[in-house]
Amino acid sequence: MFIDHNYIKGLFFPILIIIACFSYHLACSNPGFATIDESPFVQDDDHYWFCSICNITPPLRSTHCKKCGRCVLRRDHHCPWLGTCVGLDNHLFFVIYLFIDSITFYIFINESYDVTKLNDDSFIQWFLTSFLCAIICAIGIFG
């Protein structure tokens, strides 16, 4: 009748990892590049601009990215960890990825510290093993 909480935690963490990987994949998708076929929004003479690199008149709020080499619709920034821009089409997935990844990292640190306390290990030993391991993994995944 009673559910073991360790069993739920054991299922919850891998599900978070799968959701984080899936949202990372979606965040790396097309950010919404401006194309020639798109009819630009009405621009007055004061706010008209033409991208000389792409040879198009992009819609308003689009910006040319030097690293991608294309104009991106509603460009937020070029993310070095994703290897692409965060724009109109992948901004939501990028925010979801950051949220899920933050929760996963918090659970990992919290649970690893609880295991260290159960084994009567010192804080220094926990810091040198679990926390630094998590930082190295984070740098390896995101760097």
Q: Do the beta carbons of residue 78 and residue 84 sit within 8 Å?
A: yes
Q: Do the beta carbons of residue 27 and residue 82 sit within 8 Å?
A: yes
Residue with tokens 């991608």: 68
Active site residues: 79
d(CA 93, CA 18): 14
d(CA 123, CA 104): 21
